[in-house]
């Protein structure tokens, strides 16, 4: 009936709603097909499925098939396969393509954001707060090494080896700092290593990294904008980060009680999952509102609810919800990645590629070294921890995006950052598989805690 | 981090993405809170929870709190509570409110559409194709009576009692025809009556009604636009409706085989639900593309997959997905409903209210009479069938919307149709509860099929 409405009210203005729905449906179908095909094929090779989702995303995205593309890559939608289908089978007029394309993209991107929020909520549920606190000091050390080393080595190298100006060098150095929680936690979960000591150190360090990355971004951005650092803002940000995560953990017991009484008291459908989603989304909003990230909020929410009696049933119910939304996140991460910047036959890419080779080296070595920070746990797999911190994913792309939109980064430096993100993101999952696979002595926490 | 991006790139243009995500999160939180509070309270009174979700939707919507409102009601978003929160706590500049409001609304409406698509998929899974075909003739008769009676009585009454012109009268008559599948099926499911003979007749008749309603809308709209009926278009529509539903059922066996081999062959997460969602969304897109409705497609998809071995596990996994999305549909239906048109103290409403009283009478009696069409099933609850067909829900509002945007309907006639939709929608759930509750002889199909 929707399409008819569009045709009936065609004279005054064209109703976009039915086209948006149709385009979102097609996008989701394409994303699911890509994620399943990619995930299954890569799984057959013994690699984590998420790598397949990312690669499949690249194939359906801006770099190849242009099925899942977004306005931010500079397209107006006329080269989008989905828009062509809507024009030929859905009766979408050519004049409306650009606007409808933007609206569809907006919805798909929000679904992807909800996907990573749910992913971190699920990871939080799978994690154990006590266990995470038990490796807190190690995680902090790992995080700090993994931020300081790549930042200093990257910035100094760009200034002295490549003769770049200071501000862009600092910016590129900052882009090397933050580990992608989403990718690294999903790989750990797929390898069944999330609840090992190594897994929890990586997770704790990645979360800390993310907070440090946000603080660095605030500093670098204000430096780039005004030439000075706004110390008040900085202090507010640091205090709110500490207050938010600390507050969530302290309030955990109270939230637990409320949740348990709700989940057992409610008599209508969704009694387990709806209150949990309300909590997760509220924390995500709060995380966003105090200038942190939504995913930190939903991770904290999952961590807190983890200790409730309803945990098992809740975890079971979150799985299909995650299956609905999470692939949208990973496929769009791949789809947005333009691997064209890696093509060495294009003259303009070469300078970027040389810088990229340097950044990639710094990015990998700088994080591999973090394994050294995992002290006091005998028999620990330091290599796995270092590798687990490598993928930069979306966080690095955020730096690249801001850098290029604000004009701080030259085209080649921007391309080099994107290349660094691509390589670190795609190289980490198979390496992590190997590092854990060859290591049969990996300390399993359940065993370890029984021994102690 | 998202909010920082916005503030960094503030000069060239303001990035709306973080505000859209924040607004969508707030909207979803408000919707869940409303649906749970409303559903639980109404459930305590022994009524179907969906009624509570609808009423809670009215309270948070355009009629009262203005938390969940949409541009189609004529607002620019400055009176939206969520936009005010985004301005005060999220740093949204006043200049961007209207555009961001429109973008948030778009996403929420797509989520609601996905919700009703998933709802009908779930209803399809709960239904049994053989059982539905077993009551096919009765359902067809019930549907035809329920379309012809209100249409003729409404149109003739408006022309001869109220002296209205022919075209608007036909349009208003047509708005009386289609039963809301979403509301009626949810109520049946909540009462545990979906798989009774009555439930399946109502469901089959509501689906048929919907197809008939689409055909009538095509006729009436082309009549209103050009003064004539495009017979070719009409034929194409009828044939594609028959081909679509018939084809889905005929291809069912083949789809089943493919689905079963996929669900048992896939080795990565989501092996049960992802192929099912791909099928459901593809059918929804197809239903939309051939000018039917998306929900007919997902209903057919659920009906077909219903016969597979993986059914139980799939049904279990669809529940949390439905809990995520379906409340968004029902709360927004309530939120969009402006009950202001029912206020008799406003002078301008009075003419509309008198017409509304007539339309409501025709709408209720015309559908109650459909129970008479349920022949050949001894001991059947005819009253329940008639009541089950009463709610008009979103379909009636579509007529009202097209009628008012195309200028066919006068303001009072438009308000009368909206009032008719409100009353039939809100009155049916408690009536259905009563009709089934007092009737202990209701033929349970599982029993009936054992006897035969």
Q: What is the number of structural domains in chain B?
A: 2
Determine which of B18, B25, B87 to mutate to test the interface with A (most A C-beta atoms within 10 Å). Answer: B25
Please identify which residue in the block is written with the tokens 């798989």: B195
Asked if B29 lies within 8 A of A270 by C-beta distance, the reply is no
Chain B partners of A291 at a C-beta cutoff of 8 Å?
A: 1, 3-4
DSSP A162: S
Whether residue A394 is predicted with pLDDT greater than 80 in this model: the reply is: no
Q: Directed axis angle between helix B273-289 and helix B311-336, to 10°?
A: 50
Does residue A64 sit in the same domain as residue A132? no
Does residue A374 sit in the same domain as residue A236? yes
Chain B partners of A282 at a C-beta cutoff of 8 Å?
A: 25, 29
What is the rounded distance in angstroms from the CA atom of residue B149 to the CA atom of residue B159?
A: 16
pLDDT at A2: 42
CATH code, domain carrying A140 = 1.20.1530.20
Max CA separation in chain A (angstroms): 75
Q: Extract the residue ranges of chain B whose pLDDT is less than 70.
A: 1-13, 307-308, 394-395, 405, 438-452
Q: Which of A361, A393, A382, A363 is nearest to A436 (CA)?
A: A382
Asked if B22 lies within 8 A of A288 by C-beta distance, the reply is yes
Res. A154 pLDDT band, cuts 50 70 90: very high
Q: Which of A280, A219, A394, A296 is nearest to B17 (CA)?
A: A394
Given A89, A281, A289, which is nearest B90 (Cβ)? A289
Determine which of A85, A268, A336 to mutate to test the interface with B (most B C-beta atoms within 10 Å). Answer: A268
What is the rounded distance in angstroms from the CA atom of residue A6 to the CA atom of residue A3?
A: 5
**B295 and B181 in contact (C-beta within 8 Å)?**
yes
Dihedral (CA of B213, B215, B218, B224) sign: negative
Tokens representing B314 are 């799939």
**A86 and A23 in contact (C-beta within 8 Å)?**
yes
Determine which of A91, A320, A396 to mutate to test the interface with B (most B C-beta atoms within 10 Å). Answer: A320
**A306 and B15 in contact (C-beta within 8 Å)?**
no
A9: nearest CA in chain B?
A: B406
pLDDT at A307: 65
Does residue B94 sit in the same domain as residue B156? no
Compare A107 and B347 and report the one with higher pLDDT: A107
- The answer to the question of residue B412 being in a domain is yes
**What backbone torsions phi and psi does residue B289 show, to the nearest 5 degrees?**
-65, -30
Compare A442 and B153 and report the one with higher pLDDT: B153
Asked if A294 lies within 8 A of B268 by C-beta distance, the reply is no
DSSP A106-122: HHHHHHHHHHHHHHHHH
Q: Which of B244, B240, B205, B193 is nearest to B391 (CA)?
A: B205
DSSP A274-317: HHHHHHHHHHHHHHHHTTS-HHHHHHHHHHHHTTSTTHHHHHHH
Does residue B406 sit in the same domain as residue B257? yes
What is the rounded distance in angstroms from the CA atom of residue A399 to the CA atom of residue A14?
A: 38
Chain B partners of A270 at a C-beta cutoff of 8 Å?
A: 36, 320, 323, 327
Give me the total of CB pairs closer than 8 Å, taking one residue from chain A and one from chain B: 212
Over its C-alpha atoms, chain B yields an Rg (Å, rounded) of 23
Whether residue A62 is predicted with pLDDT greater than 60 in this model: the reply is: yes
B220: nearest CA in chain A?
A: A8
Cα–Cα distance list, A168 to A223, A408, B380, B418 (Å): 11, 6, 78, 60
Does residue B403 sit in the same domain as residue B332? yes
Does residue B90 sit in the same domain as residue B133? no
Asked which of A149-153, A286-290, A447-451 is least confident by mean pLDDT, the reply is: A447-451
Chain A partners of B323 at a C-beta cutoff of 8 Å?
A: 269-270, 273-274, 317
Asked if A320 lies within 8 A of B323 by C-beta distance, the reply is no
**What backbone torsions phi and psi does residue A292 show, to the nearest 5 degrees?**
-95, -155
- The answer to the question of residue B122 being in a domain is no
Does residue B140 sit in the same domain as residue B87? no
Given B9, B35, B273, which is nearest A323 (Cβ)? B273
**B106 and A106 in contact (C-beta within 8 Å)?**
yes
A266: nearest CA in chain B?
A: B40
Given A3, A18, A289, which is nearest B22 (Cβ)? A289
Q: How far is B452 from chain A (nearest CA, A)?
A: 34
Q: Which of B30, B5, B6 is nearest to B82 (CA)?
A: B30
Asked which of A150-159, A184-193, B164-173, B347-356 is least confident by mean pLDDT, the reply is: B347-356
Chain A partners of B18 at a C-beta cutoff of 8 Å?
A: 288
**A184 and A333 in contact (C-beta within 8 Å)?**
no
- The residues near B335 (Cβ < 8 Å, ≥ 6 apart) are B57, B58, B60, B61, B62, B68, B69, B70
- The answer to the question of residue B428 being in a domain is yes
**A51 and A35 in contact (C-beta within 8 Å)?**
no
DSSP B127: S
- Return mean pLDDT, chain A: 86
B262: nearest CA in chain A?
A: A36
Cα–Cα distance list, A340 to A62, A344, A361, A446, B34 (Å): 9, 9, 20, 45, 48
Helices (H), ranges, B161-194? 166-175, 181-190
What is the rounded distance in angstroms from the CA atom of residue A250 to the CA atom of residue A120?
A: 19
What is the rounded distance in angstroms from the CA atom of residue A357 to the CA atom of residue A417?
A: 10
Decide which of A108, A135, A167 is a domain's last residue: A108
Please identify which residue in the block is written with the tokens 């009766």: A91
Chain B partners of A2 at a C-beta cutoff of 8 Å?
A: 288, 293-294
How many helices and strands in chain B, by DSSP H and E?
Answer: 20, 0
DSSP B179: -
Does residue B230 sit in the same domain as residue B360? yes
Asked if A273 lies within 8 A of B217 by C-beta distance, the reply is no
- The residues near A278 (Cβ < 8 Å, ≥ 6 apart) are B29, B32, B33, B36
Q: Find the helix or strand (DSSP H, E) in which B398 lies.
A: helix B393-405
**Mean pLDDT across the stretch A128-144?**
88
Burial (CB count within 10 angstroms: exposed 0-12, middle 13-18, buried 19+), residue B237 = buried
Asked if A323 lies within 8 A of B22 by C-beta distance, the reply is no
What is the rounded distance in angstroms from the CA atom of residue B231 to the CA atom of residue B237?
A: 10
Chain A partners of B321 at a C-beta cutoff of 8 Å?
A: 320-321, 324
Chain length of chain B: 452
Q: Which of B2, B50, B44, B51 is nearest to B23 (CA)?
A: B2
Angle in degrees, CA B336, B338, B342, rounded to 5: 155
Decide which of B48, B77, B109 is a domain's last residue: B109
Q: Could you give the ipTM of this predicted complex?
A: 0.88
Q: Which of A159, A209, A172, A213 is nearest to A388 (CA)?
A: A209
pLDDT at B12: 47
Does residue B59 sit in the same domain as residue B26? yes
- The answer to the question of residue B123 being in a domain is no
What is the rounded distance in angstroms from the CA atom of residue A306 to the CA atom of residue A123?
A: 10
Q: How far is B304 from chain A (nearest CA, A)?
A: 19
Given A40, A107, A285, which is nearest B107 (Cβ)? A107
Asked if B32 lies within 8 A of A274 by C-beta distance, the reply is yes
**B180 and B393 in contact (C-beta within 8 Å)?**
yes
Winning range, highest mean pLDDT, from A11-15, A337-341, B165-169: B165-169
DSSP A328: H
DSSP A165-204: -HHHHHHHHHHTT---HHHHHHHHHHTT-TTSHHHHHHHH
A52: nearest CA in chain B?
A: B268
Does residue B24 sit in the same domain as residue B157? no
Determine which of A222, A269, A271, A282 to mutate to test the interface with B (most B C-beta atoms within 10 Å). Answer: A269
Asked if B323 lies within 8 A of A274 by C-beta distance, the reply is yes
Asked if A24 lies within 8 A of B90 by C-beta distance, the reply is no
Q: Directed axis angle between helix B166-175 and helix B197-226, to 10°?
A: 160
Over residues A198-257, the pLDDT tens digits come to: 999 999 999 888 888 878 877 887 777 777 777 887 888 888 888 888 888 888 888 888
Chain A partners of B107 at a C-beta cutoff of 8 Å?
A: 106-107, 110
Chain B partners of A110 at a C-beta cutoff of 8 Å?
A: 20-21, 24, 107
DSSP B294-319: HHHHHHHHHHHHTTSTTHHHHHHHHH
pLDDT at A13: 64
pLDDT at A241: 84
Tokens representing B40 are 């639980």
pLDDT at B307: 65
Chain B partners of A43 at a C-beta cutoff of 8 Å?
A: 267-268
pTM of the model: 0.88
**Mean pLDDT across the stretch A305-323?**
87
**A83 and A90 in contact (C-beta within 8 Å)?**
no
A87: nearest CA in chain B?
A: B289
Given A3, A43, A44, which is nearest B291 (Cβ)? A3
A222-257 exposure pattern, b = at least 16 Cβ within 10 A, e = fewer:
bbbbeeeebeeeeeebeebbeebbeebeeebeebbe
Whether residue A7 is predicted with pLDDT greater than 70 in this model: the reply is: no
Asked if B273 lies within 8 A of A225 by C-beta distance, the reply is no
Does residue A77 sit in the same domain as residue A159? no
Q: Directed axis angle between helix A393-405 and helix A197-226, to 10°?
A: 10
B306-339 exposure pattern, b = at least 16 Cβ within 10 A, e = fewer:
bbbebeeebbebbbbbbbbbbbbbbbbbbbbbbb
A50: nearest CA in chain B?
A: B268
DSSP B354: H
Burial (CB count within 10 angstroms: exposed 0-12, middle 13-18, buried 19+), residue B184 = buried
Given A107, A114, A268, which is nearest B106 (Cβ)? A107
Q: How far is B29 from chain A (nearest CA, A)?
A: 5
Chain B partners of A275 at a C-beta cutoff of 8 Å?
A: 36
Decide which of A46, A73, A108 is a domain's last residue: A108
What is the domain extent for residue B73?
A: 2-109
Chain A partners of B393 at a C-beta cutoff of 8 Å?
A: none
Q: How far is A33 from chain B (nearest CA, A)?
A: 8
Q: How far is B244 from chain A (nearest CA, A)?
A: 14
Given A5, A278, A281, which is nearest B398 (Cβ)? A5
Given A5, A277, A320, which is nearest B32 (Cβ)? A277
What is the rounded distance in angstroms from the CA atom of residue B124 to the CA atom of residue B127?
A: 5
Compare A340 and A187 and report the one with higher pLDDT: A187
Does residue B271 sit in the same domain as residue B373? yes
Tokens representing B118 are 């998933």
- The answer to the question of residue B119 being in a domain is no
Chain B partners of A24 at a C-beta cutoff of 8 Å?
A: 110, 114
Res. A336 pLDDT band, cuts 50 70 90: confident
What is the rounded distance in angstroms from the CA atom of residue B193 to the CA atom of residue B185?
A: 9
């Amino acid at each position: 009936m929707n399409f008819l409405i569009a045709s009936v009210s065609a004279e005054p203005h064209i109703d976009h709603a039915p086209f948006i729905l149709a385009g979102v449906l097609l996008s989701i179908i394409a994303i699911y097909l890509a994620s399943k095909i990619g995930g299954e094929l890569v799984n057959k090779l013994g690699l984590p499925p998420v790598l397949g989702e990312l690669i499949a995303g690249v194939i359906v995205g801006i770099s190849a098939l242009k099925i899942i593309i977004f306005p931010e890559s500079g397209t107006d939608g006329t080269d989008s396969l989905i828009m062509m289908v809507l024009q030929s089978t859905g009766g979408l007029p050519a004049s409306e393509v650009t606007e409808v394309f933007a609206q569809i993209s907006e919805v798909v991107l929000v679904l992807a954001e909800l996907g990573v929020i749910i992913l971190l909520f699920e990871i939080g549920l799978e994690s154990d707060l006590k266990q995470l606190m038990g490796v807190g000091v190690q995680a902090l050390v790992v995080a700090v090494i993994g931020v300081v080393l790549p930042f200093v080595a990257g910035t100094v190298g760009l200034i002295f080896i490549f003769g770049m100006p200071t501000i862009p060098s600092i910016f590129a150095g900052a882009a090397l700092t933050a580990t992608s929680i989403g990718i690294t936690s999903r790989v750990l979960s797929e390898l069944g290593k999330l609840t090992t000591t190594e897994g929890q150190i990586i997770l704790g360090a990645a979360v800390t990294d993310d907070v440090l990355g946000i603080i660095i971004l605030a500093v670098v951005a204000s430096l780039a904008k005004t030439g000075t650092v706004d110390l008040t803002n900085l202090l507010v940000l640091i205090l709110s980060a500490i207050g938010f995560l600390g507050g969530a953990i302290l309030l955990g017991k109270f939230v637990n009680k409320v949740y348990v009484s709700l989940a057992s008291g409610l008599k209508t459908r969704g009694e387990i999952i709806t209150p949990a989603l309300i909590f997760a989304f509220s924390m995500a909003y709060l995380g966003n509102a105090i200038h942190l990230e939504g995913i930190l909020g939903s991770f904290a929410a999952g961590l807190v609810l983890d200790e409730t009696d309803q945990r098992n049933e809740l975890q079971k119910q979150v799985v299909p919800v995650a299956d609905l939304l999470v692939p949208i996140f990973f496929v769009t991460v791949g789809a947005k990645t333009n691997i064209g910047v890696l093509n060495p036959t294009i003259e303009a890419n070469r300078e970027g590629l040389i810088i990229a080779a340097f950044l990639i080296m710094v990015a990998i070595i700088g994080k591999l070294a973090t394994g050294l920070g995992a002290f006091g746990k005998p028999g620990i797999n330091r290599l796995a921890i270092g590798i687990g911190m490598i993928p930069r994913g979306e966080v690095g792309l955020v730096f690249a995006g801001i850098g290029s939109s604000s004009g701080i980064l030259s085209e080649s430096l921007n391309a080099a950052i994107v290349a660094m993100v691509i390589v670190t993101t795609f190289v980490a999952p198979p390496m992590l598989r190997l590092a854990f696979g060859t290591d049969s002595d990996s300390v399993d926490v359940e065993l370890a805690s029984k021994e102690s």
